[in-house]
């Protein structure tokens, strides 16, 4: 198919390629696009395969010089570069007009060379030799130095070389030239190298090429030239002309040549330290015209563009229009500006932004222009970059913090005992562990830059050194930088870019909240987490892990006494001492989150996680408990497990030592009553049971929690309300969700553990081979990062359906790491979930992803 470009054409990129479609859109908006015809992919294929050249309109063929541009469906897929000035011949030189005689002869000579190499596949070097030979013989450096006569002589030499090599004289007929060019361009698309290159960029096997045959705007003569301009700043997205211009030039390629281009605006010219006049100074009317063109294009097509343009005798022609280059950060500003100008809707603006890119707005980053000295690489566990002195223990981190001396905590791996140290450090680097290892999870929760699994580094804790594969050694106090965004550890302190929650960011978040129809909660364990979450405008807390509360200095000893108690009586005595501490935690949490739901998970980890590991700590504990240290060691040993992930934890603790959950329930309820009474606003806590695999577990806990609630009601005289729910983390809980739903107000899917169990894969051990697995495409994505829709996702859907079937009012949530992953959020929205919950620092991502999912599915 061949179509003449005009203001009414509706051109599909699938038929005529992206360039043609965009040119047509610009023409339709009335922008000054030179006359052209568009050859469809099938037409071009016919040229390539059978030499079937279509008949083109006479007025186009004989109205002046032409260019041939390739128009693939996706510009990334390549395609031969444009061939300009088709139709130049002796007659053109004779009637050179504003181009001038010398200009016309130059065009002609360059066209012969281009035609000879592209269409007839002659060796470009032969022409170069001829050219430089003649310059040398004449004794000049540049073609400008030749006389008219000498220029004609060179042209004739080119023609003669052509004839000698090809066997026929150079074609003077413009139609013959065009046909030759069309065939060469069509065939070039099918060259094996071209094909391999575009397949590598994701093009389909049968990707076709369309062609644009366009009238030339010459760019030669007075007030003439060519340039490229975009209407926004690539880095910030701010509306601002940026670009380059070259007088007396015909296209972008000319800018690679010997002459230096000037900047479009005087401001940019000054910033670049150039002294030549800018386009703004040379041709102010052109600037005005370009601004106008940009506005029309933005309003008409709904994007900020980058234009390739030619100025001919002061008149602007648009040769090509591409979306403006932009960083992830700039795209946010551009989308907001377009929406505020009315060029696109707010929903369109929301859909334009990749949620993951919001990370850039939230964390300090290494300056992209810096060239840091990377000494170790690992997994991108928690984004952002931080610089500090190396410390090897949580205690040292705390000392550093107290001296206001920023530090980076370096560990083989972290355990709950390191949490205090992590709070004190600016960043964390571990040698072992995967994306959902303890260090990674906690760091994300804290918004702390973190690299895990940097397996190439060797840690010698005895000598307090890090040694790299190539033998470099780092010691305590050495300054390093951890870049969690890129998974790198660097020497010293490379230049950083600070985060900035700009107006555009806040605007997008506001629009996202209006658009989304699925809740976003935060996983927050402590009052400070909760404050961060509240600042990020969450809809509540979806997961408060109570165990972290027990690691604080004044509590861990009581906790340990509870664990090592000989009898239920002793255990209850220790729990009685923990009760007021837990209650005060919850009071603070409820006060911070007033008016919003807070879901509290009952104790989950195996008890041995709370016990000390070092002999000194064992000794301390033995003293505190007035017990021989050998007994403490033996008890701790007796609690060890082969597979702690699958051991005595979660509700298994609650069922076999009911007094623990009873204490927690009491602390929650008493806190809820106290805050309800003091604030006058009713707190309805949500209590969540972890690691359920059988319905009877829920029944047993429910009985005891209900009893505690009744006691608290009686004791306080307050009509306490609460919700009891189940955390679905085992495949069996998902399969039996129907039963569970009958005892539950909500089901919250703990997709970290559910993924581990569905795959039979420990997140802490997966790091060892995850990279291989992704490289071999065994897993398309790390399933701990993006929800595995085919396996875990099926269990989620099954559970959601079974649960809702048996309990119409069942609330469904997701509280794994996946709550901050856009694809997973989309899945939850489609599956009809009520909310997702993620670490506070991922809340903005989740809010935007939730908005996008809502826009796409609610339509």
- Minimum CB separation of residue 424 from a second copy in Å reads 25
- SS3 of residue 772 by DSSP: helix
How many angstroms separate the CA atoms of 813 and 750, rounded? 9
Q: How far apart are the first and last CA of the chain?
A: 36
Which one, 381 or 512, has the nearer CB to a second copy? 381
Which residue of the set 361, 363, 438, 818 is catalytic?
438
Length of the chain: 859
Which residue of the set 407, 450, 544, 815 is catalytic?
815
How many angstroms separate the CA atoms of 189 and 199, rounded? 12
How many angstroms separate the CA atoms of 611 and 844, rounded? 36
Residue 779 CB neighbours (<10 A): 17
Which run of H or E residues covers position 107?
Answer: helix 101-118
Which residues, listed in sequence order, are joined to residue 780 by a DSSP beta bridge?
none
- Minimum CB separation of residue 802 from a second copy in Å reads 11
- Minimum CB separation of residue 691 from a second copy in Å reads 6
Place of tokens 């020497």: 491
Which one, 64 or 731, has the nearer CB to a second copy? 731
Which residues, listed in sequence order, are joined to residue 557 by a DSSP beta bridge?
none
Angle in degrees, 0-180, between the axes of helices 101-118 and 174-189, rounded to the nearest 10: 40
- Minimum CB separation of residue 573 from a second copy in Å reads 22
The CA-CA-CA angle for residues 274, 276, 282, to 5°, reads 130
Nearest partner of 768 among 447, 478, 431, judged by Cα: 431
Which one, 141 or 470, has the nearer CB to a second copy? 470
- Minimum CB separation of residue 521 from a second copy in Å reads 24
Which one, 458 or 472, has the nearer CB to a second copy? 458
- Minimum CB separation of residue 772 from a second copy in Å reads 5
Which one, 101 or 779, has the nearer CB to a second copy? 779
- Minimum CB separation of residue 434 from a second copy in Å reads 10
* Residue 61: partners with Cβ closer than 8 Å, 6 or more residues away: 174, 175, 178
Task: Provide φ and ψ at 241, rounded to 5°.
Answer: -75, 130
- Minimum CB separation of residue 574 from a second copy in Å reads 20
139: left (phi over 0), alpha (psi -120 to 50) or beta: left
Q: In this structure, what token pair is assigned to residue 325?
A: 């280059």
From residue 703, how far is each of 471, 475, 661, 700, 770 by CA, in Å?
61, 55, 11, 5, 43
Which one, 531 or 806, has the nearer CB to a second copy? 806
Q: Are 1 and 43 in contact (CB under 8 A)?
A: yes
Q: What Rg do the C-alpha atoms of the chain give, in angstroms?
A: 35
Strands 488-491 and 598-601: unpaired
Q: Are 367 and 325 in contact (CB under 8 A)?
A: no
Q: Are 182 and 53 in contact (CB under 8 A)?
A: yes
Which one, 454 or 524, has the nearer CB to a second copy? 454
Which one, 14 or 656, has the nearer CB to a second copy? 656
Residue 176 CB neighbours (<10 A): 11
Which one, 311 or 705, has the nearer CB to a second copy? 705
Q: How many helices (H) and strands (E) does the chain have?
A: 34, 31
Which one, 470 or 777, has the nearer CB to a second copy? 777
Strands 479-483 and 488-491: antiparallel
Q: Are 852 and 351 in contact (CB under 8 A)?
A: yes
Concatenate the DSSP letters of all residues of 721-766 into one string. --EEEEEE-SHHHHHTHHHHHHT-SEEEE-HHHHHHHHHT--HHHH
How many angstroms separate the CA atoms of 517 and 832, rounded? 10
Residue 626 CB neighbours (<10 A): 6
Which run of H or E residues covers position 829?
Answer: helix 822-830
Which one, 180 or 455, has the nearer CB to a second copy? 455
Which one, 400 or 436, has the nearer CB to a second copy? 436
Q: In this structure, what token pair is assigned to residue 847?
A: 């809010």
Concatenate the DSSP letters of all residues of 255-287 into one string. GGSSSPPEESSHHHHHHTT--SPPHHHH-HHHH
- Minimum CB separation of residue 753 from a second copy in Å reads 7
Residue 326, classified by CB atoms within 10 Å of its CB into exposed (0-12), middle (13-18) or buried (19+), is: buried
Q: In this structure, what token pair is assigned to residue 176?
A: 């013959």
- Positions touching a second copy (CB under 8 A) are 641-648, 652, 655-656, 691, 693-694, 696-697, 700, 729-732, 735-736, 753, 756-762, 764-765, 768-769, 772-773, 776-779, 788, 790-792, 794-795
Q: What is the DSSP letter of 821?
A: -
Task: Provide φ and ψ at 306, rounded to 5°.
Answer: -120, 125
Which one, 11 or 691, has the nearer CB to a second copy? 691
Place of tokens 């829709």: 789
- Minimum CB separation of residue 546 from a second copy in Å reads 19
- Minimum CB separation of residue 779 from a second copy in Å reads 6
Residue 438 is a catalytic residue: yes
Task: Provide φ and ψ at 390, rounded to 5°.
Answer: -65, 130
- Minimum CB separation of residue 203 from a second copy in Å reads 24
- Minimum CB separation of residue 459 from a second copy in Å reads 11
What positions carry a catalytic annotation? 438, 815
């Amino acid at each position: 198919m061949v179509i003449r470009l005009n203001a009414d054409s509706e051109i599909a990129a699938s038929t005529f390629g992206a360039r043609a479609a965009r040119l047509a859109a610009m023409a339709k908006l009335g922008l000054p696009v030179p006359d052209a015809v568009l050859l469809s992919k099938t037409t071009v294929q016919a040229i390539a395969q059978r030499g079937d050249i279509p008949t083109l309109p006479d007025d186009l063929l004989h109205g002046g010089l032409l260019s041939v541009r390739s128009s693939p469906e996706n510009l990334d897929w390549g395609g031969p570069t444009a061939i300009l000035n088709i139709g130049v011949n002796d007659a053109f030189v004779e009637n050179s007009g504003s181009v001038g005689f010398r200009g016309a002869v130059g065009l002609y000579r360059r066209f012969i060379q281009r035609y000879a190499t592209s269409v007839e596949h002659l060796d470009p070097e032969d022409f170069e030799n001829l050219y430089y030979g003649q310059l040398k013989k004449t004794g000049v450096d540049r073609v400008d130095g030749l006389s008219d006569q000498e220029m004609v002589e060179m042209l004739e030499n080119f023609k003669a070389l052509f004839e000698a090599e090809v066997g026929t004289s150079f074609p003077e007929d413009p139609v013959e030239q065009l046909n030759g060019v069309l065939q060469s361009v069509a065939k070039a698309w099918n060259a094996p190298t071209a094909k391999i290159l575009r397949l590598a960029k994701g093009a389909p096997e049968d990707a076709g090429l369309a062609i644009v045959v366009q009238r030339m705007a010459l760019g030669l003569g007075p007030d003439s030239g060519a340039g490229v301009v975009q209407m926004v700043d690539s880095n910030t997205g701010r509306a601002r002309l940026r670009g380059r211009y070259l007088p007396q030039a015909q296209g972008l390629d000319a800018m690679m040549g010997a002459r230096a281009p000037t900047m479009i605006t005087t401001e940019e010219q000054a910033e670049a330290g150039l002294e030549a006049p800018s386009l703004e100074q040379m041709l102010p009317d052109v600037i005005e015209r370009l601004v106008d063109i940009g506005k029309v294009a933005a309003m008409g097509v709904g994007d900020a563009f980058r234009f390739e343009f030619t100025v001919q005798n002061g008149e602007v022609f648009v040769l090509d229009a591409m979306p403006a280059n932009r960083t992830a950060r700039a795209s946010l500003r551009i989308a907001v500006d377009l929406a505020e100008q009315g060029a696109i809707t707010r929903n369109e603006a929301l859909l334009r932004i990749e949620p993951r890119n919001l990370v850039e707005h939230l964390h300090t980053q290494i300056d992209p222009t810096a060239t840091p000295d990377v000494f170790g690489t690992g997994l991108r566990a928690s984004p952002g970059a931080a610089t500090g002195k190396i410390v090897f223990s949580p205690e040292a981190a705390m000392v550093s913090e107290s001296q206001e001396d920023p530090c980076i905590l370096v560990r083989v791996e972290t355990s709950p005992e390191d949490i205090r140290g992590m709070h004190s450090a600016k960043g964390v680097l571990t040698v072992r562990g995967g994306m959902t290892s303890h260090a990674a999870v906690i760091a994300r929760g804290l918004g702390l830059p973190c690299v895990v699994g940097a397996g190439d580094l060797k840690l010698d804790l005895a000598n307090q050194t890090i040694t790299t594969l190539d033998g470099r050694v780092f010691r305590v106090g050495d300054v390093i930088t951890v870049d969690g965004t890129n998974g790198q550890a660097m020497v010293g302190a490379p230049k950083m870019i600070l985060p900035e929650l700009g107006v555009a960011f806040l605007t997008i978040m506001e629009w996202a909240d209006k658009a989304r129809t699925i809740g976003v909660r935060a996983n927050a364990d402590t009052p400070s987490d909760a404050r961060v979450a509240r600042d990020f405008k969450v809809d509540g807390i979806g997961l408060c892990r109570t165990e972290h509360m027990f690691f604080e200095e004044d509590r861990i000893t009581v906790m340990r006494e509870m664990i090592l108690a000989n009898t239920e009586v002793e255990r209850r005595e220790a729990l009685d001492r923990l009760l007021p501490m837990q209650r005060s935690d919850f009071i603070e949490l409820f006060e911070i989150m007033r008016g919003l739901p807070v879901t509290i998970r009952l104790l989950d980890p195996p008890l041995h996680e709370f016990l000390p590991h070092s002999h000194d700590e064992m000794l301390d504990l033995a003293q505190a408990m007035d017990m021989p240290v050998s007994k403490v060691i033996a008890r701790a040993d007796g609690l060890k497990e082969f597979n702690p992930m699958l051991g005595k934890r979660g509700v298994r603790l609650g069922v076999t030592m009911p007094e623990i959950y009873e204490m927690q329930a009491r602390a929650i309820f008493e806190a809820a009553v106290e805050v309800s009474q003091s604030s006058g606003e009713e707190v309805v806590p949500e209590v969540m049971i972890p690691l359920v695999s059988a319905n009877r577990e829920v029944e047993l806990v429910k009985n005891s929690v209900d009893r505690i609630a009744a006691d608290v009601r009686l004791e306080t005289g307050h009509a306490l309300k609460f919700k009891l729910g189940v955390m679905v983390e085992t495949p069996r809980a998902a399969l039996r969700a129907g039963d569970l739903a009958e005892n539950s107000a909500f089901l919250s899917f703990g997709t970290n553990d559910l993924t581990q169990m569905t795959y039979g894969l420990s997140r802490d051990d997966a790091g060892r081979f995850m990279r291989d697995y992704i490289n071999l495409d065994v897993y398309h994505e790390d399933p701990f990062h993006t929800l595995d829709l085919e396996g875990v996702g099926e269990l989620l859907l099954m559970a959601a359906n079974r649960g809702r079937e048996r309990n119409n009012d069942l609330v469904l949530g997701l509280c794994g790491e996946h709550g901050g992953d856009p694809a997973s959020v989309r899945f939850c929205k489609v599956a009809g979930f009520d909310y997702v919950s993620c670490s506070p620092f991922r809340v903005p991502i989740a809010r935007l992803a939730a908005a996008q999912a809502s826009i796409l599915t609610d339509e």
